[in-house]
């Protein structure tokens, strides 16, 4: 009973509610812009394409029919340290966009999703969608905006491998590996392929810097070493061949050669210096010998004996005896003649004459006769003299 009586009443209330909703003014509806939950932050690999989903609606709108609207849609890219960049826009029925950017649906449409193609790392940033709706009379029905974050990931570029050090037995070397481009930053792993399979870990491996330290090398450590650079979206690799030498390195040989050449150069320099010094001393001695002054002959006092050129007293006569006698010579007198030992012939002898003998020789004032010197015990002496060559005779 209750259900039968109540059925017309419920139906009447439903009809009244629908009528009032239809008659409600559209200005009371509120504009809402939607993005999918969990998709506000997107990650895409470089080179791919992505769709940034967005659509709008009016809250409180019941009618299924959509009245005429004047739609304005704009998409902007915000990047840190850069100005706001408009990538797409639909204004007054005109669509404009940058290369590789487009709206997914033809306009006008309440789905205002954005498509990005051929993405590059520089396309990363915050994309903001702005929607403004007006009615047919130009009255604003609302304005909303939403932001989505896009991160373009880059797989590691092919790394480069290098060998640092001299690979000889007992020495240490470092294998380095570095990728020039990667987002996020790449991690590194070193390993050896079969048949000598080996994987390296810390502390010999630095996974962040990509270096592998090999200590106390042995011949068995020779072979190929592979470095793999990887991140969330890709990987790349390079390899280096290690050949451990058992003999002396080229640097040791070069050092020995250089050391030998330097030693020979120093020895030659010492020999030249010794020769120059000996020559200088010899020239200095010759200069002293040529510049030496011959000693002078000691002078004899007035009235002294006459000395021959060769330094011997060949004849001793007084100056008085050498003087001619006063007056004419007497008949039978003897004339003394001094002789010089340097003359070629024998000393001249005293010639006899018919002159009378000479008068006794008187002592010279201030001098002593040779006869007196003989009685006093005087001895004839030899006075050295110097030849023109500078030697004593």
Q: What is the pLDDT of residue 230?
A: 96
Among residues 363, 353, 326, 300, the alpha carbon closest in space to that of 337 is found at 353
Q: What is the pLDDT of residue 15?
A: 38
The two tokens of residue 182 are 């990667």
CA gap 34, 144 in Å, rounded: 9
Q: What is the pLDDT of residue 140?
A: 85
CA gap 104, 52 in Å, rounded: 9
Among residues 70, 261, 233, the alpha carbon closest in space to that of 155 is found at 233
Do residues 362 and 320 make contact, with C-beta atoms less than 8 angstroms apart? yes
Among residues 335, 352, 353, 345, the alpha carbon closest in space to that of 314 is found at 345
Kindly give, in sequence order, each residue whose CB lies less than 8 Å from that of residue 124, ignoring residues fewer than 6 positions away: 79, 150, 151, 152
Q: What is the pLDDT of residue 33?
A: 92
Q: What is the pLDDT of residue 174?
A: 95
CA gap 209, 220 in Å, rounded: 26
DSSP string for 267-318: HHHHHHHHHHHHHHHHHHHHHHHHTPPPPPPPPPPTTPPP--TTS-------
- Measured on CA atoms in the order 89, 93, 94, 95, is the torsion positive or negative? positive
Q: What is the pLDDT of residue 278?
A: 81
Q: What is the pLDDT of residue 316?
A: 39
Q: Angle at the Cα of 46 (from 41 to 48), degrees rounded to 5? A: 85
Q: What is the pLDDT of residue 344?
A: 39
Q: What is the pLDDT of residue 388?
A: 54
Residue 150, SS3 per DSSP: strand
CB neighbour class for 100 (10 Å; exposed up to 12, middle 13-18, buried from 19) = middle
DSSP 79: -
Domains in the chain: ranges and CATH: 30-153 (2.60.40.10), 160-242 (2.60.40.10)
Count of C-beta atoms within a 10 Å radius of residue 330: 14
Token pair 């030498």 is at which residue? 245
Q: What is the pLDDT of residue 334?
A: 44
Q: What is the pLDDT of residue 65?
A: 56
Per-residue model confidence as pLDDT tens for the chain (393 residues): 333 333 443 344 343 333 433 333 444 568 889 999 888 899 999 999 999 999 998 887 665 555 567 899 999 999 998 999 999 999 988 999 999 999 999 988 999 999 999 999 999 999 999 999 988 777 888 899 999 999 999 999 999 999 999 999 999 999 999 999 999 999 999 999 998 889 999 999 999 999 999 999 999 999 999 999 999 999 999 999 999 988 665 556 677 788 888 888 888 888 888 888 888 777 776 666 555 555 555 454 444 444 434 444 434 344 344 444 444 444 444 444 444 333 334 444 444 444 555 555 544 445 566 666 667 666 666 655 655 555 555
**In 105-116, which positions are buried (b, 16+ CB within 10 angstroms) versus exposed (e)?**
eeebebebbbbb
């Amino acid at each position: 009973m209750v259900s039968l009586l109540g059925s017309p009443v419920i139906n009447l209330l439903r009809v009244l509610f629908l009528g009032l909703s239809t008659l409600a003014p559209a200005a009371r509806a509120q504009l809402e812009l939607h993005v999918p939950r969990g998709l506000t932050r997107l990650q895409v690999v470089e080179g791919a394409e992505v769709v940034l989903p967005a659509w709008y609606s009016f809250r409180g709108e019941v009618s299924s029919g959509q009245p005429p609207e004047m739609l304005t849609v704009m998409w902007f890219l915000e990047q840190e340290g850069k100005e706001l960049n408009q990538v797409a826009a639909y204004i007054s029925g005109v669509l404009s966009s940058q290369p590789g950017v487009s709206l997914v649906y033809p306009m006008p449409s309440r789905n205002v999703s954005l498509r990005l193609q051929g993405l590059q790392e520089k396309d990363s940033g915050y994309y903001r969608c702005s929607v403004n709706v007006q009615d047919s009379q130009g009255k604003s029905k609302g304005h909303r905006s939403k932001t989505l974050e896009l991160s373009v990931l880059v797989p590691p570029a092919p790394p480069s491998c290098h060998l640092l050090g001299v690979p000889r037995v007992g020495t240490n070397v470092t294998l380095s590996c570095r990728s020039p481009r990667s987002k996020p930053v790449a991690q590194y792993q070193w390993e050896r392929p079969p048949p000598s399979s080996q994987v390296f870990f810390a502390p010999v491996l630095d996974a962040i810097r990509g270096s592998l330290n090999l200590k106390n090398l042995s011949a068995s450590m020779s072979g190929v070493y592979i470095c793999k650079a990887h991140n969330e979206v890709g990987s790349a690799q390079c390899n280096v061949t290690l050949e451990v030498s058992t003999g002396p390195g080229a640097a040791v040989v070069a050092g020995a050669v250089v050391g030998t050449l330097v030693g020979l150069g120093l020895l030659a320099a010492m020999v030249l210096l010794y020769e120059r010094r000996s020559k200088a001393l010899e020239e200095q001695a010759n200069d002293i010998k040529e510049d030496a002054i011959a000693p002078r002959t000691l002078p004899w006092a007035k009235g002294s004996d006459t000395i021959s050129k060769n330094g011997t007293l060949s004849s001793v006569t007084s100056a008085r005896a050498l003087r001619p006698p006063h007056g004419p010579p007497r008949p039978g007198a003897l004339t003394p003649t001094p002789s010089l030992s340097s003359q070629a012939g024998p000393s001249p002898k005293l010639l006899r004459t018919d002159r009378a003998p000479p008068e006794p020789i008187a002592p010279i004032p201030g001098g002593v006769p040779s006869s007196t010197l003989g009685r006093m015990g005087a001895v004839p002496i030899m006075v050295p003299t110097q030849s023109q060559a500078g030697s004593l005779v």
